[in-house]
Amino acid sequence: MLTIDNLHATAGDKEILKGISLTVNAGEVHAIMGPNGSGKSTLAQIIAGHPGYTVTSGSVTYEGRDLLALQAEERAQAGVFLAFQYPIEIPGVTNAYFFRTAYNEVRKANGKEELDPIEFLDLMETKLKLVEMDPAMLHRSVNAGFSGGEKKRNEILQMAVLEPKLAILDETDSGLDIDALRVVAGGVNALRRPDNAAIVVTHYQRLLNYIVPDFVHVLANGRIVKSGGKELALELEARGYDWVLEAA
């Protein structure tokens, strides 16, 4: 589904990604862990199409297409979704309006019929239950004044509505209480199908008890320095990163 090959990227003069290769097949869940500042969010943002980074070499192929040639919105319409580490506030645009517009844009791009506001509210009702969110949040401005946990929950709600093929969660578990963590994991697991895939960026093995990954990768200093199965996360939890970095 997704093939990243020897990806190098910079922001300004700074080289952040220094040759990343990663293959994600349909049906798989990959966890990416690694120290602060190692480039995890940069990788996630580049996949989503953030204009602030320059890819200097390497390629990203998604479902046989050159992902880097697509605009951010085209990637979203093709089923790529990024839950932001720091969700953006949009004062003046209600959640309800934003979600419906996003949903319909994606439907339209895929040749499907758009939903009217009433039909969309019906759809939202089920999705809200899934993430256990108060329907009143729909009428507030997107993320504006939301607590940290509410913002993360709102990301999962968007994911649940858009039903992406490839979901990337950038530290969606950070700052969540236990209940919220369960909800986030539930959202991801509900999406888990043989034809979908997920990349979960996290610092905590705890999340991986709920979302069991097929692979765990350690990203350090712009490179994937170690990959393994789910037991690698347990080992990192117990021993920290030093041993991996030294070996690399």
Partner 1 sequence: MTSATKATSDGYEQAFSALRSSGGPSWLPALRREAMDRFNALGFPTTRNEDWHFTSVTPIAERVFKIAPTRSGPATLSPADVATAAIGDPDWHRLVFVNGRFEASLSAFAGLPAEVRVTTLADALKETPEFVAEHLGKLAKSEGQTFTAFNTAFAQDGVVIHVPGGEVVEAPVHIVHIADVHAAGAGIHPRLLVVAEPLSQLTIVESFVCTGSPGAAYLTNAVAEIEVGNGARVNHYKIQRESTDAYHVGTTQVRQGRDSMYHSFAYASGAAISRTNIYTQLAGENAETRLNGLYLIDGTQHADHQTFVEHLAPACASRELYKGILDGSSHGVFNGKVYVDPIAQKTDGKQTNHALLLSDQARVDTKPQLEIFADDVKCTHGATVGRLDEAALFYMKSRGLGADGARALLTYAFAAEVLETIEVDQLREGLEALAFARFTHGEQR
Ligand X SMILES: Nc1ncnc2c1ncn2[C@@H]1O[C@H](COP(=O)(O)OP(=O)(O)OP(=O)(O)O)[C@@H](O)[C@H]1O
Footprint on this chain of Mg ion (rule: CB under 5 A):
40-41, 85
- Cβ pair 200, 207 in contact under 8 A: yes
171 CB-near residues (< 8 Å, 6+ apart) = 40, 41, 85, 201, 202, 203
State yes or no: residue 14 binds ligand X (CB under 6 A): yes
| Residue with tokens 């969606």, as numbered in its chain | 172
Give the interface segment with ligand X, choosing from 10-18, 119-127, 142-150, 234-242 (CB under 6 A).
Answer: 10-18
- Residue 88 binding: pick among partner 1, Mg ion, ligand X, none (C-beta 5-8 Å cut-off by kind): partner 1
Q: Pick out residues in 79-98 that bind ligand X (CB under 6 A).
A: 85
Contact residue for ligand X among 29, 42, 172, 236 (CB under 6 A): 42
Residue 70 near partner 1 by CB under 8 A:
no
User: Could you tell me where the DSSP H helices lie in the chain?
Assistant: 40-48, 72-77, 95-109, 117-130, 148-162, 178-191, 205-210, 231-239, 242-247
Asked if residue 32 binds partner 1 (CB under 8 A), the reply is no
From candidates 4, 16, 137, 207, binder to ligand X by CB under 6 A: 16
**62 binding partner 1? (CB under 8 A):** no
Residue 153 binds which entry of partner 1, Mg ion, ligand X, none, with Cβ cut-offs from 5 to 8 Å by kind? Answer: none
> How far is the C-alpha of 100 from the C-alpha of 16, rounded, in Å?
35
221: left (phi over 0), alpha (psi -120 to 50) or beta: left
